[in-house]
Structure formats: C-alpha cells, structure tokens
C-alpha cells in the first residue's frame, strides 16, 4: 500500500465528489483517479478494494462534517435549555449545507449499503456510534429531554437534511411563516424538545 | 408510442427494480428491457427518454404505495385523537416496509433529481403535493396539531424510513424499551403530536 497521506486524502475527497456527482455505481478506481487528476492505477495502490475505499470515504466525510470543538465549547457556556439544543441543531445544519457534496455522498453510501454487506456493517457501526455519542453528549451536558427525545430529533433532522439537500422546493414556503431551513429547524426543536427551565448547578 | 398498458406497467415495475437494485446510474432502457424479459428496444417504444421513464416510475411508485381507501375510511370512524394519527403513521410504515423496493427506488430518484433538473421539477411537485395533501387531510379530519405538526411528523417519518430501510441496525435496540420500527413510530407520534382530547362534533 502506498503511504503518501496527502495523496490518499486527495483520492478519498475525489471519491466523495464522484459519489455525489455520479452515484455509487459510478464509483470506480478509474473514476477516482480521473477525479483526482492522477495516473490510472494510482487508487489501486491506496485501497485494497472497493469496500476499503468506501470505508475510508465514510471516515473522511465524518471528519469533514465533524463539529468545530471550539464552537461546541463556546455554546456550552450558555444555559442548558432548549435554545441551546437549537444552536446545536443549527450547527449540524450549517455544516451539512456547507458540505452538501459530502452529505449527498453519505446518502449514496446508505443506498450502496443495501447492496454491500461489508459496507452495511461498517457504516451501521459508524452511524449508530454517532447517534449514541449524541445521546451521551445530550445527557452529560444536562440538556432537556432524554434518549427518546434525542432519537426523535435525530430522525427529524435526518428527514430535513434529506429533503432540503435533494428536493429543496418541497419545503420552501410550505409553511407560510417559516423560513427553510432555518425557521424549520427552530420549529422542529420547539416541537420535539421539552421546554424545561435551564438547569442550575 | 406503443400502447399496451400491461406491458407498460411491467416495464415501469422493472425500472423500479433496477433503480433499487443497481442505483439510478444503472437505469438504462437496456436494463429495463432485460429486467422485464422483453426484447432489446422495447422500452424505447414506450418512453420518449429517460426523464419520461423516471416520471412514469414516480407515478407508478406513488400508486403502489398509496393507502387503501377502505383502510383509511375504517380508521376515520374512530375518535380524532393522537392514537388515530399513530394508526395512520403505522399504515404509512407498513406500506413502505411491504414495498421496500419501491421506497428505495424513491430514495434513488431523490439523488438522481440532484443531477437532472427535469426530474427535480416533476418530483418536487409530486412530493410537495403529497405533503400538502397530508396537511389538508389532517385538518379536514380534525386531527390534533396544525400544519407545523404535520410537517415535523413528516420529516421524522422520512428520517425513520430512510434509516430503517437502509441501515436497520442503527436504530435496532438503541432505545432498550422501544421496538423498531413499531415502538419507535409510537414514540415519534407521542413526541410530536399534541395529546388533545378527541373532538366532538
């Protein structure tokens, strides 16, 4: 296996682009080589097979979409109430909208996972890990609502991201007073998260 | 254009299978002909182009996933409270699980819509029409909650269907007391829909 880390990252980013632009079926080593502008055959020196490439794509998008720890730390200085949950959800949304390509590639990976057991296993572990981490974070931070709240909120945000990133015209203006996506995130949080008083330590 | 309606339906159903099994990029007239077991060239006599095929796939899945009017009529005899909303959501879920192939094809169509403006326009209209119809139905039936409730519920159900149909292992057991998907639908409705008393006319 070749070990140039910058070239590896460039190849994986090219794979993310190919996934979003052409769909999972378009993801071949040859398309990745072309996307990264490297000689044909380069990818095969960096990835053992397509499942290995997909696992590295998963890890890479994860890294690209990860929250900025300093943003999270700053937000955590505020009261641990519903408005803080809204700030976190706004941050999730902003990151997804900023890296729309990465997020669309994640949706392609989900559909590809229905066809590839190895990807399904690794990707399930990764998505479930994120959800469980989200529950732990919510609990540890003392935010209102329990694991069920976090799960329902997660599903509504997943639905919002799918709708807004693939067919933005569906939600736009459907609620006359609610902007999309910002106002809608606010309505999602107000509907799902209990309006408890801020906790005092 | 050829006009044998049974053959047209068989071709469109074959296209749904191809979409779910191979992804949008695998959807060619040749693949549809092969899937339907008809001579090469048949599809090109039934569809003007790929956008026409995709529009007919949309209409066909719509029909396949449509609720049974007699089931809806029977449910509407009960009190118009939150538990009735739950019954409707259970019915949505049951239809999607029963026709998993059709639903996966819809997800493929969403991603393909990001690449094809004609599909994006027609598919947006169709999905938005469903959402607006759902709001009208909810209002006319006197179910608890307004348009915002319906929108948030719609997004959470969309997230649940995406997660459960692509990576079922993510949600399974993540809430120890909640079965997936049945118990989770109940928690979604209980979280999002107000627990108003049944309306009396």
Q: Report the complex ipTM.
A: 0.96
CA nearest neighbour of B175 among B162, B160, B196: B160
Q: Could you give the CA distance from residue B6 to residue A20 in angstroms, rounded to a whole number?
A: 35
Chain B contact for A180 (CB, 8 A cutoff): no
Q: With bands split at pLDDT 50, 70 and 90, how would you rate the model's confidence at A196?
A: confident
- B157 at A interface, C-beta within 8 A: yes
Chain segment A78-91, per-residue pLDDT in tens: 899 999 999 999 99
Between CA A177 and CA A183 the distance in angstroms is 8
Identify the pLDDT of residue A183: 97
pLDDT on residue B3: 81
Nearest to B169 among A104, A128, A171 (CB): A128
Distance CA B153, CA B151 (A): 5
Q: Could you tell me the domains of chain B?
A: 5-61 (1.10.10.60), 67-192 (1.10.357.10)
8 Å CB contact between B159 and A155:
yes
Q: Tell me how many helices (H) and strands (E) chain A has.
A: 10, 0
pLDDT value of position A1: 73
Q: Are B145 and B195 in contact (CB under 8 A)?
A: no
Is residue A200 scored above 60 in pLDDT?
A: no
Statement: residue A198 has pLDDT above 50: no
Residues 6+ apart with CB under 8 A from A190: A82
B17: which 2 tokens? 């299978």
Burial of B58 (0-12, 13-18, 19+ CB in 10 A): buried
Percent of chain A beyond pLDDT 90? 95
DSSP helix/strand/coil, A48 = coil
Residue A13 has pLDDT above 90, yes or no: yes
pLDDT by 10s per residue, chain B, length 201? 778 999 999 999 999 999 999 999 999 999 999 999 999 999 999 999 999 999 999 999 999 999 999 999 999 998 999 999 999 999 999 999 999 999 999 999 999 999 999 999 999 999 999 999 999 999 999 999 999 999 999 999 999 999 999 999 999 999 999 999 999 999 999 999 999 754 444
Cβ of B187 under 8 Å from any chain A Cβ?
yes
CB contact under 8 A, B156 and A159: yes
B131 with A174: Cβ contact below 8 A: yes
The first and second tokens of residue A104, run together, are: 């669309």
């Amino acid at each position: 296996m070749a070990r140039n880390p910058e070239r590896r990252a460039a190849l994986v980013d090219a794979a993310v682009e190919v996934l979003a632009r052409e769909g999972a079926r378009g993801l071949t080593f040859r398309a990745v080589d072309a996307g990264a502008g490297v000689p044909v055959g380069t990818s095969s020196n960096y990835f053992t097979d397509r499942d290995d490439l997909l696992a590295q794509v998963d890890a890479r998008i994860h890294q690209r979409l990860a929250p900025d720890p300093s943003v999270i730390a700053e937000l955590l200085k505020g009261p641990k109430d519903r408005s803080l949950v809204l700030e976190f959800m706004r941050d999730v949304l902003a990151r997804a909208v900023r890296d729309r390509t990465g997020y669309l590639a994640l949706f392609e990976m989900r559909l590809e996972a229905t066809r590839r057991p190895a990807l399904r296993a690794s990707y399930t572990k990764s998505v479930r890990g994120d959800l469980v981490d989200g529950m732990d974070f919510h609990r540890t931070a003392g935010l209102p609502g329990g694991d069920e709240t976090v799960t329902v909120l997660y599903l509504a945000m997943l639905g919002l991201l799918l709708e807004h990133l693939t067919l933005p015209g569906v939600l736009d203006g459907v609620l006359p007073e609610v902007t999309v996506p910002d106002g809608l995130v606010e309505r999602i949080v107000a509907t799902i998260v209990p309006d408890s008083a801020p906790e005092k330590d």
